[in-house]
A and B are shown apart, each in its own frame.
Chain A
Amino acid sequence: MSIRVATDQSTEGLATAHSEWIGVCSLDDLAPERGAAALVGGVQLALFRTFDDSVYAVQQRDPFSGAFVMSRGIVGTRGAAPTVASPMYKQVFDLRTGECLDAVGKEPVPLAVWPVEVRGGVVFVARPEVGT
């Protein structure tokens, strides 16, 4: 059974496990090596669970196309860095820092990232700045 904590787009009334940490879903809701979109405090995030069960959160909006699609990219590695490739034009980003590792010929633009913690099988994200 999955835990669904934030269920609407308002920032009010969010159940939080910690003053600034927001429980988003259970780890089991995330497929390994794939992303999922999440709505946290009205902001779209892309959560990724990697091979070693680490979870990363980055902005869902692809900075190169403007579409909200980052969670649908392919997860992988570049050297030691866990990465996601945008599904739109295939730019590659470091999931840990949001750094754009391969801009596919464009000017690199990084992704915003959010701190994530997994506690007791629940994925917590530090409250994002509204408006990203």
Chain B
Amino acid sequence: MPSVADMLQEQSPQHLVVVGGGMVARRLIDALRARDEAGQWSVTLLCEEPRAPYDRVALTSYFTGRHPEDLALGGQDIWDDPLVTLKRGVKADSIDRAARTVTTNGGAVLPYDALVLATGSYAAVPPVPGKDLRGAFVYRTIDDVADLRAWVEKRRDELDRPVRGAVVGGGLLGLEAAGALRALEVETTVVEFAQRLMPLQVDDGGGAALKRLIESLGVSVRASTATSRIVGDRGVVSKMEFSEGEPLDVDVVIFAVGVRPRDELARDCGLDVGERGGVVVDDACATTDPAIWAIGEVANIGGRCLGLVAPGYTMAEIVADRLLGGGGTFPGADLSTKLKLLGVDVASFGDAFAEEPGGLEVVISDPVAGVYKKLVMSDDARTLRGGILVGDATAYAALRPMVGRELGGDPAAYLLGPDTAGSAPGLDLPEDATVCSCNNVTAGEIRCSVTEGGCTDLAGVKACTKAGTSCGSCLPLVKKLVTTELEKSGVEVSSALCEHFDLSRAQLFDVVRVQGLTTFSEIIATHGRGRGCDICKPVIGSILASLGTGHILEGERASLQDTNDHVMANLQKDGSYSVVPRIPGGEITPEGLIAIGEVAKEFGLYTKITGGQRIDLFGARIDQLPAVWKRLVDNGFESGHAYGKSLRTVKSCVGSTWCRYGVQDSVGLAIALELRYRGLRSPHKLKLGVSGCARECAEARGKDVGVIATDNGWNLYVGGNGGFTPRHAQLLAEDLDTDTLVRTIDRFLMYYVRTADRLQRTAAWVEDHEGGLDAIRAVVLEDSLGIAADLDAAVAVHVDSYEDEWAAVLSDPEKLRRFGSFVNAPDVADDSFGYVAERGQPRPATPEERAGGVLIAGTTLEVRR
């Protein structure tokens, strides 16, 4: 019985046959059906594989539990279109150009008016002995990966040990295959002939970073190694031998050494074929036979075959256009790539190897965090030419469309921080910049879909423009563009710190950390302008301190500090200072209380219990501070950092030790936490609280980090504060044991320290964080960013390098000199103060009292001044 399509074919003047049901063929059919409103063409698609075109790019996700159906491309309605006939499991065997027919492996003869070859590539197999043994695979189709999985599972059952595997080829595909083997819990080695992994995409620096990252994931890497033989045991892969070095025992081998165009049909019917294969086409994708076109990986265009899907899609669009009488031509291919291999981000784009003369390279290499990033700029450092990102490719989406354009701002800003994705300073994409290269969508089209197309969210824009629907790497940028367009407010919020720095605090933090900068002069010379101000200087002072790079008053660093940090006390309204010794958890001995009392008495200081469970001594002159602190330090006290943007107090309730209701030792934990985080410099002050039961006497939920005891451990709350905009902390995790609790707080605090804005408390930071508390929970509990080890290490550095700032100053005559009253008269006391007595203690005199001459200044109250 003739199908609907066959009947329609009668009336339809033109019939198109497409050979090869791959990704590019699918795009051709989509494009043609979308544009051919008059129904000029009917299409028959011949698929050698037993299924409709699927997403080969996402093939590896088959191993993360996805079904083959999940790899389907786009909607399936297209196959119900009466003008489209899908033939699965049917291979084209030959072409008769004179008769304009295609013969299938089943013997059917299909006439065509136009024929498109979209047969893609073979996975190449090197001619090594043993390549055909059972257990040797390629990695190209769903069947390949299904067979691979079945084999590995079978061997696992047979062998009484983990399965061992090797991938031949350390390029894109090889690393993807290695990831698949890892997902199958195979002990994996990657064997690469070249000196480094991904030789076509990354340079030596990137290759080294990649190798470290891949090895840290438990995959061994053997570079500069040629495979000479695969040894079998009863027909099954058992060992690999190399031209040099030890052989390797293996149970499975994957060849991922490259692809060869499937141009056999074209060869057999006498079409031109390139020297290294591929059906030769012009820039309209036409072969030497005007009725035959070639698109995708099989096409040899501009003298080469292109192994990426994006140029294939462009070719599909061109042929659709041409079939309908258009004049589209191939604009040249963007060979940029971004991949997530084994969870490691790798991207390369534009002139990644700085082949164009006169290029400048901006490199950020952070072996600890496993990040290598390089931008290739024009010789004036303005225009972006290309780049390589390994370990963190968040900037890719924003950078790729900027190739050949002026970046604006500090190139390093683009390489830093998670918040840079699509939001680097000055990034203002021109309308014609391609944002989605897979689907060839420009910034203008995305904006237009919002302003004129009526799209109101990302999903709408994706559906309407197709942007972000293939590899997904452009999504952050698409999202950014959509958000900007939606925020009709027109107010652009710059994240620049101040007039001296274009970077935000978080970006600056990363620059300093990753480039290992240690002085303000270096930092402002390389990333800023001018000589700083009261905004950026303390920020940089704080960043350097957070990174554990030494005393806050060391050398040039002293000049960065606000007066509070500079003299390590709190400036009061009359120019005197207050002194707050640390009293961890609010627990203090009678001896300690007496010692503080004696110091206050001796120096005539006003005393008060603070809201943070400790004691403040007010009214010390700058030149008295060292003497006051000498007494305190001698009595075992240390700085309470009441002056710093750093940990203030950990408030405790009395807890299970005394309280009838307490279920855990809240005082003990509060003290431990206070000692752990004391001195930790942060974007804003940090306060913690620990309550011994749910009655919450320590008001822990009013703190940046609040811990509340449960019968089973501790509940952890984050993002609370009092002050101007009170917030209750939100639950981050429940019933943690003490070790897990501390580790989680470590990560939360260090992540905050690294990424928050200047003077942004945790509550606002959590709110602003993309994905909110859930995303932060994923980072600190599930290591979703892969930075947990780094955060842990940073806290360890802090804990190990802590020293009491005041004790350090007291033993350093150079630093003590800062406390003189006058540079030319260090021993003359400043006589500008005036005090009166109130409730038995001194307080600053009011202007009226001063004018009236009622000052006591130390006489009646035995205040020594």
Contacts and interface: CB of A to CB of B under 8 A. Distances in A.
A77 B538 CA distance: 14
Interface string B30-69: 0000000000000000000000000000000000000000
B534 A5 contact: no
Interface string A64-93: 011111001111111100110101101010
B558 A39 contact: no
A83 to B, nearest CB: 7
Contacts of B828: 7-9, 39
Tell me the interface secondary structure of chain B in the complex: loop
B824 A30 contact: no
Contacts of A6: 824-825
Contacts of B575: 65, 67-69, 88
Contacts of A117: none
A117 to B, nearest CB: 16
Given A44-B830, A66-B847, A75-B559, A90 B534 contact: yes
Given A67-B574, A67-B575, A68-B830, A76 B822 contact: no
Interface string B378-409: 00000000000000000000000000000000
Contact of A38 (B622, B823, B832): B823
B556 interface: yes
Contact of A37 (B530, B532, B566, B821): B821
Given A8-B828, A33-B531, A69 B823 contact: no
B499 interface: yes
Contacts of B823: 24-25, 29-30, 36-38, 47
A12 B545 CA distance: 46
Given A69-B571, A74-B533, A85-B533, A33 B499 contact: no
B573 interface: yes
Contacts of B735: none
A50 B717 CA distance: 46
Nearest to B821: A37
B845 to A, nearest CB: 11
Nearest to A36: B823
A61 B575 CA distance: 10
B500, B532, B558 interface centre (most CB from chain A within 10 Å): B532
Nearest to A3: B824
Interface in B502-545: 530-534, 536-538
Interface residues of A, number: 44
Interface in B539-596: 556, 558-563, 566-567, 571, 573-575
B571 to A, nearest CB: 6
A44 B499 CA distance: 32
B559 A34 contact: yes
Contacts of B533: 74, 76-78, 83, 85, 92
B500, B538, B825 interface centre (most CB from chain A within 10 Å): B825
B429 to A, nearest CB: 30
A14 to B, nearest CB: 10
Interface in A10-66: 24-25, 29-34, 36-40, 44, 47, 50-51, 61, 65-66
A5 B824 contact: yes
Interface of A: 4-9, 24-25, 29-34, 36-40, 44, 47, 50-51, 61, 65-69, 72-79, 82-83, 85, 87-88, 90, 92
Can you list the 9 inter-chain pairs with the closest CB atoms, starting with the nearest?
A67-B575, A76-B533, A85-B534, A87-B563, A36-B823, A74-B534, A72-B563, A77-B530, A33-B559
Interface of B: 499-500, 530-534, 536-538, 556, 558-563, 566-567, 571, 573-575, 622, 818, 821-825, 828, 830, 832, 847
11 contacts: A7-B828, A33-B559, A34-B559, A38-B824, A39-B825, A47-B823, A51-B531, A65-B575, A72-B563, A74-B533, A88-B571
